[in-house]
Amino acid sequence: MPPIPDRSGPARLAYGATAVLIGATASLGSAFVGVNLPFIQGRLGLTPVEGAWLTAAYAMTNVSGNLLFLRFRQQFGIRLFAALGLVLYATMTLLNTLWDDYTAALVIRALCGFATVPLSTLTIFYMLQAAGQKHSMGGLIVGLSIAQAATPFAYVVSPALTFSEEPHVLYLFESGLALCSLAAVALLQLPESPKARILARGDLLTYLLVCPALALVVAVLTQGRLQWWPDHPWLAVALCAALVLMATAFVYEEVRPAPLIYHELLFAGSTMRFALGAFGLRFVLSEQTYGASGLLGLLGAGPDQLQGYYAIILMSLAAGVGVAALVFTPPRAAVLAIVALAFMATGAFLDADATGSVRPQQFLGSQAMLGFANGLFFGPILIFGVLGALKGGFEKLVTFIVLFIVSQTLGGLAGSALLGTIQQHREQVYSAQINASIDPTDAIVAQRLQSQARQFAPVLTDPALQRAQGTRQLGQASTLQANVLAYNDVFRLTGALALLLLAWLSIQTLLTMIKSKEQGGTPAPAGGGAS
């Protein structure tokens, strides 16, 4: 890590602004694609399956990038590391404005996923320079959390950028951010950190084994719900191939003198508890990215109607980050995670009584709770884990960082995949129940069908066609109601999972405190209880 000298107020402000600019550059490109995916699909004439590959391509390369880049930065220095990442990303975004078809979009998204890995690290380093040595812990939390604001911010600004219905506007905005970041880094450089020759030839082979393994898992989680799990055998083949590649990488790393992946850290009990907790927290937060957003989209809420909704989420996220930055110390990590889980459970259960007439305004309180929880736990839980990993030596940090990134990426994808699968299954169950209860001979049902048919009288003169359209409209209404009930089940499930995690974490924390008291010391930052 570069040194953090004492700086003047204006210099710290400049470093902080540069950190926000680089953080926005690193995360907004992917967020824009995810938020505007229906718009991009319509523009390029893509199916939902083809569109999902655009988001998968980015995650497939991004999830494993730190495995290689951490050692590269330590050997060649932060400045070369920054220049290569920004130049590659700026080049890719500029190509996106010129080469506008599906193949190009896939290639560029994949390369952008790889190129943004250095930018995330740069964001943290610049924010540390802004915070100074005295407030470095708070600066680290803010730097880590900037990327979490990308999706709500993308929802807020996207309606203005897509007003012309030209995707080039999105790509030009992304390119502008990349070029501005490149200029800012050139003008305001980081202090050079000490270098060490730690790269080995074997590192590349490990990366070439782990990267496709994780990429295959990402592909399965992204496509499984859309293509439906039992209908496509390639999903099972991909998971088996990922398992073989990962096992081969572990065996190879076991015999290396200076491995990238340290098994004793990776499979330690405290590390596994930490990874499970981090994965579970990200999984539960899928209630916001998939559940509430999916239901509002189903009910017809467009981008313009969701701007205020996501502005509230953005502000609550910022509030959570601010609180975490002000109060965090390693012994408080478990307390912050418990509070975050309590907010998640409360928000999820508040959403579980939605109806077909619900609007974004009715979700503001619950989703503000989830946004606050997201800001409250993300930075502290990573810092807590890093402090524990550093007890085994700095060389083991690569293993931990990769584990955390994988847990967060796969936790989010698994949450969307599993919750989406449950929602689709429950919708089918509720549709069957509702349709079975509709009896055309019932007086109320017959009156409803007549009312629906009369709506088409001004445009259809044939009574049979009027009745057919009325029946079809009633069927659409029952399907909508079944979907709403299925989303309510999703909300209840995530609330229950949050309570389960809350109970598990509270027990682990209590056991850690008891053990520490018996030993006559204070709870250690690396204790498994504050996972």
Q: What is the mean pLDDT of residues 484-501?
A: 91
**1-199 and 258-531: same fold?**
yes
∠ CA 79-80-82, rounded to 5°: 65
Cα–Cα distance, 122 to 306 (Å, whole number): 31
- How far lies 120's CA from each of 66, 87, 195, in Å? 10, 15, 20
Closest CA to 208 of 258, 245, 256: 245
Q: What is the mean pLDDT of residues 112-140?
A: 83
45 Ramachandran zone, left/alpha/beta (phi>0; psi -120 to 50): left
Q: What is the mean pLDDT of residues 256-283?
A: 78
Q: Which CATH architecture has domain 258-531?
A: Up-down Bundle (1.20)
Query: What is the residue whose two structure tokens read 């009325």?
Result: 470
Is the confidence at residue 53, as pLDDT, over 80? yes
At 216 the pLDDT is 92
DSSP state of 233: T
At 368 the pLDDT is 92
- How far lies 75's CA from each of 6, 81, 123, 198, in Å? 26, 10, 20, 6
Cα–Cα distance, 51 to 256 (Å, whole number): 40
358-409 pLDDT, tens digit per residue, is: 888 888 888 999 999 988 887 777 777 777 666 665 566 667 777 778 888 8
Q: What is the mean pLDDT of residues 74-90?
A: 78
At 470 the pLDDT is 57
Cα Rg, the chain, nearest whole Å: 25
Share of the chain above pLDDT 70, in %: 85
Cα–Cα distance, 68 to 260 (Å, whole number): 9
Whether 224 and 235 have beta carbons less than 8 Å apart is answered as: yes
Best CATH choice for the domain 1-199 from the list 1.20.1250.20, 2.60.120.10, 3.10.20.600, 3.90.1150.10: 1.20.1250.20
At 528 the pLDDT is 38
Mean predicted lDDT score pLDDT of the chain: 80
At 439 the pLDDT is 60
Is the confidence at residue 27, as pLDDT, over 80? yes
Residue 529's pLDDT band, with cuts at 50, 70 and 90, is very low
Length of the chain: 531
Cα–Cα distance, 91 to 116 (Å, whole number): 12
427-461 pLDDT, tens digit per residue, is: 888 888 877 766 666 666 566 656 655 665 565 56
Cα four-point dihedral sign 208, 213, 219, 221 = negative
Q: Where are the domains of the chain?
A: 1-199, 201-256, 258-531
Closest CA to 288 of 89, 117, 151, 94: 151
> What are 166's two structure tokens?
């030209």
